[in-house]
Structure 1
Amino acid sequence: MEINPILIRLGILPLVPRDPAEPHRGATPLELLFDLVSVIAVASAASGLHHAILAFHITEGVLKFSASFFAIWWAWMNFTWYASAYDNNDSLHRVLTIVAMAGSLIMAAGIDRFFQTNNIDMIVAGFVVMRLAMVCFWLRAARHDPERRLTAYRYAVGIAIVQVYWVGLMLAQPIAVNLLVGFYAVGALFELIVPAYAESNNTTPWHRRHLIERYGLLNIIVLGETLLAGSLAIQRVASDNMGKELIGIAISSLVLVFALWWVYFSQKEHVAHPRLSLALLWGYGHLLIYMSGAAVGVGVAVLIEVVTGYSSLSTSVGLYTIAVAISGYLFGLWVIRERFELEGAGRYILLLTAIVLLFSPLILPIEGIAALLVIGVAIRNQYACKSVKQETPHGI
């Protein structure tokens, strides 16, 4: 394709598909900035869940947290997979990425309103802005990558059609909460179908190591919510002079983060096989991991409110929030990695630990929950060292 000199002067370069075997492929500064914007939205969703639990609107809070988090994660995930295959870092790519980030900020601004009034207008508006930027990305890919033109068109058309659904849902407000959740779930299902349908034609040249790094970086950001909650405990110790319980919460929150980080970033491979169904399972399955990682921090924050007397809830509410969130995190890892990459009893250690943790608040304080997690992760790592498959991995 002939290069227009005017476009070159504007910093717009030809879009060449990236090499999936490219060495030393890492996250770009623009992708890291995108993550920073996403974490603002994640913090807003976590804050909404925190306040809902304190008001004892737990079921409604979990549903709204899940809906908000899906929108944040889905927009991030779609951009990440596209960038892994087509990022050329020219001016047009940067402008479209900035537009997508602006949509993320609009979403973040509307999350609190959603929790308070059930109004999804700003969340939908921000989401649609991000998704329309993705339509432009895929139309550009279709123009420059004839081998995968049909795949790119399927993405662009599919995304655009689903946005019509979201706008219709927004205009149909107000809707009862139960109906809103149902319609939202249908829209989320439509969104999930688009990549599976598009990639079934001809897989885009995503870079395995690049995606592993990108997903790992977002996981670190999400776990930062728990570190923030632990820092809050330390601040309360300094200001309220309430020593033992808060110190225990602060130390335990750090232990929880380190254990969850350690088990995620083990030596076992992620995305070890390029088969589409398994790659999608790995990519989609991270939603549970990310949501659970953020919810651990919410549980710690709730526990702090209870211990310091700012909430009349029982400590069991905070403990159960933490335990259920950790269980979800471990179960998510088991679904996307452990059951494919480990053999023998080691394959089920995280699953067993997740089940035991669900019952731990009946008898254990947060220190005991943290200790139980560390024991489970340590045993799992010992088995993992002895359970190295000799054949080529057939998993994700």
Structure 2
Amino acid sequence: MSHVNVVPLSRRMQPRDPHEPHRVATPLELLFDLVFVVAIASAAAQWHHGLAEGHLGDLVNFVMVFFAIWWAWMNYTWFASSYDCDDVTYRLLTFAIMAGSLMLAAGIPELFSTEQSGLVVGGYAVMRFAMVAMWLRAAAGHPEGRRTALTYASGIAIVQVLWIARLLLHGQTALLASFFALVVLELLVPIVAERHGITPFHPHHIAERYALLTIIVLGEVILASVQAVQGALEQGAEAGLLAIVVGGLLIVFSMWWLYFKREHAGLFEGGIRSTFVTGYGHYLVFVSVAATGAALAAAVDLVQGEAHTTDRVVGVALAGAVAVYVWCLTAMHAMAGAPVVETRVGVVVGLVLLGVAAIGPPVGVTVLTTGLVLAAAVAHHVWTTRAVT
């Protein structure tokens, strides 16, 4: 007789053991990631089209909306690592956050065209107020962590009201200034709350959750490579498309390798400062991967004659995204005790990529060169670590 999973309607939300053995992502968390990647794909698609049309100002909108997606994902992920009680109420609140992310995704095109979107703000509000309910449950079920939980709940609620009020503002200057001011407030909420007591997150579980989202976002890069393959099949063996196919595959494989060349759990065990730097720093990792996929897709459009921009613009967009990715990983690995030579290689790789793109060769050459340089960085890591062991 098969085992039946009985899910209680409600149970007391108590903290999880931060040293629980064999703690892995749950099926609910995997579904959560898949739903959120829809919003990520929508944001990346808008930047892809903006880049292909030469609307470079869309990069600001991309960075802004990606923050909302990432911040909602990260807040839930850390909470789930500490307080996942898996009852019906918890699952329904999680579903509410997923629904909010889909609302946000649906409003992204409007945000890019008008600078404001009630649907984006509404979707974000659904996600954030669901998190308030989560933290209030934690406050009720975990007396020792009540002050921390209530600080989270009140901080999230206050900032969210300000996000809603921001809909009343008009003009690019006011919108940008208010956005960055509210981002600062969002980032401060966990810093202030954790001073009242560290939430019992599981370092290895958190590291796995970050790694899984990195893999999922890398799917955007793979999708762009597939588009290049399709274009090559339709148009014949065009040199530019073939270069993008080869370079794109080298880029995604190398990005994966560079991310997983070292365990990241230790970065979440090195104290509160290391934890915040790594946790917040992953915003740049995720957004740069998504931007890489968007730039590759724009490169395909350019080679196929469907874009209205230049090789240099698309090349710099690609190289810049990959350079940010490499530099972020380099910084995190340096925090984990990477050798100085590894750090130097990471810095040089980013500079080389930007230098090649700035020259302005055909975009296929830039993509292929980027892939080859990343592959060389991987080879260097393999060779040096082999020599050490």
- TM-score of the aligned structures, taking structure 1 as reference length: 0.91
CA shift, 1:212, in A, is 0.6
Within 5 Å, give how 1:343-358 maps onto structure 2.
343-358=339-354
Pair 1:205 & 2:206 matched: no
Check whether the contact 2:266–2:336 (CA below 8 A) recurs between aligned residues: no
Check whether the contact 2:40–2:66 (CA below 8 A) recurs between aligned residues: yes
State the SS of the aligned residue for 1:210: helix
Check whether the contact 2:225–2:248 (CA below 8 A) recurs between aligned residues: yes
What letter is aligned with 2:279? Answer: G
CA shift, 1:314, in A, is 2.1
Q: Distance in 2 between matches of 1:271 and 1:52?
A: 39
Check whether the contact 1:307–1:315 (CA below 8 A) recurs between aligned residues: no
- RMSD (Å) for aligned C-alpha atoms: 1.8
Name the structure 2 match of 1:184.
179
What letter is aligned with 1:139? Answer: L
What letter is aligned with 1:332? Answer: C
Within 5 Å, give how 1:294-305 maps onto structure 2.
294-305=290-301
CA shift, 1:381, in A, is 4.2
Count of paired positions: 378
Name the structure 1 match of 2:3.
none
Check whether the contact 2:152–2:189 (CA below 8 A) recurs between aligned residues: yes
State the SS of the aligned residue for 2:11: coil
Pair 1:71 & 2:72 matched: no
What letter is aligned with 2:251? Answer: L
What letter is aligned with 2:10? Answer: I
Q: Distance in 1 between matches of 2:144 and 2:48?
A: 48
Q: Distance in 2 between matches of 1:92 and 1:132?
A: 14
Name the structure 2 match of 1:225.
220
Check whether the contact 2:51–2:309 (CA below 8 A) recurs between aligned residues: no
Name the structure 2 match of 1:29.
27
Pair 1:335 & 2:331 matched: yes
Pair 1:237 & 2:237 matched: no
What letter is aligned with 1:213? Answer: E
Pair 1:368 & 2:369 matched: yes
Name the structure 1 match of 2:132.
135
What letter is aligned with 1:365? Answer: T
Check whether the contact 1:35–1:218 (CA below 8 A) recurs between aligned residues: yes
Name the structure 2 match of 1:105.
102
Name the structure 2 match of 1:256.
251
Q: Distance in 1 between matches of 2:144 and 2:62?
A: 40
State the SS of the aligned residue for 1:341: coil
Q: Distance in 1 between matches of 2:226 and 2:307?
A: 19
String of CA shifts for 1:95-151, please: whole Å, max 9, x gaps.
000001111001000111000111232111111110000000000001111111100
Check whether the contact 2:7–2:87 (CA below 8 A) recurs between aligned residues: no
Name the structure 2 match of 1:326.
322
Within 5 Å, give how 1:80-99 maps onto structure 2.
80-99=77-96
Q: Distance in 1 between matches of 2:138 and 2:240?
A: 55
Check whether the contact 1:16–1:145 (CA below 8 A) recurs between aligned residues: yes
1:146 to 143, 148, 151: 143
Name the structure 2 match of 1:40.
38
Q: Distance in 1 between matches of 2:174 and 2:7?
A: 52
Name the structure 1 match of 2:309.
313
CA shift, 1:385, in A, is 5.5
What letter is aligned with 2:350? Answer: A
State the SS of the aligned residue for 2:218: helix
Name the structure 1 match of 2:262.
267
CA shift, 1:317, in A, is 2.1
Q: Given the superposition, is the C-alpha separation of residues 102 and 269 from structure 1 closer, same or farther in structure 2, using an over 3 Å criterion? A: closer
Q: Distance in 1 between matches of 2:330 and 2:340?
A: 14
String of CA shifts for 1:161-182, please: whole Å, max 9, x gaps.
1011101101x14x11232111
What letter is aligned with 1:191? Answer: E
CA shift, 1:334, in A, is 2.0
Percent sequence identity over aligned pairs:
39
Which of 179-188 and 73-82 deviates more? 179-188
Check whether the contact 2:206–2:265 (CA below 8 A) recurs between aligned residues: no
Which of 29-38 and 351-360 deviates more? 351-360
Q: Distance in 1 between matches of 2:180 and 2:374?
A: 32
Q: Distance in 1 between matches of 2:380 and 2:58?
A: 34
State the SS of the aligned residue for 1:373: helix
What letter is aligned with 2:97? Answer: A
Higher relative contact order (CA 8 A, sep 6+): 2
Q: Given the superposition, is the C-alpha separation of residues 339 and 328 from structure 1 closer, same or farther in structure 2, using an over 3 Å criterion? A: same
Q: Distance in 2 between matches of 1:44 and 1:191?
A: 23
CA shift, 1:349, in A, is 1.8
Q: Distance in 1 between matches of 2:366 and 2:352?
A: 14
**Which stretches in structure 2 are left out of the alignment for 5+ residues?**
1-5
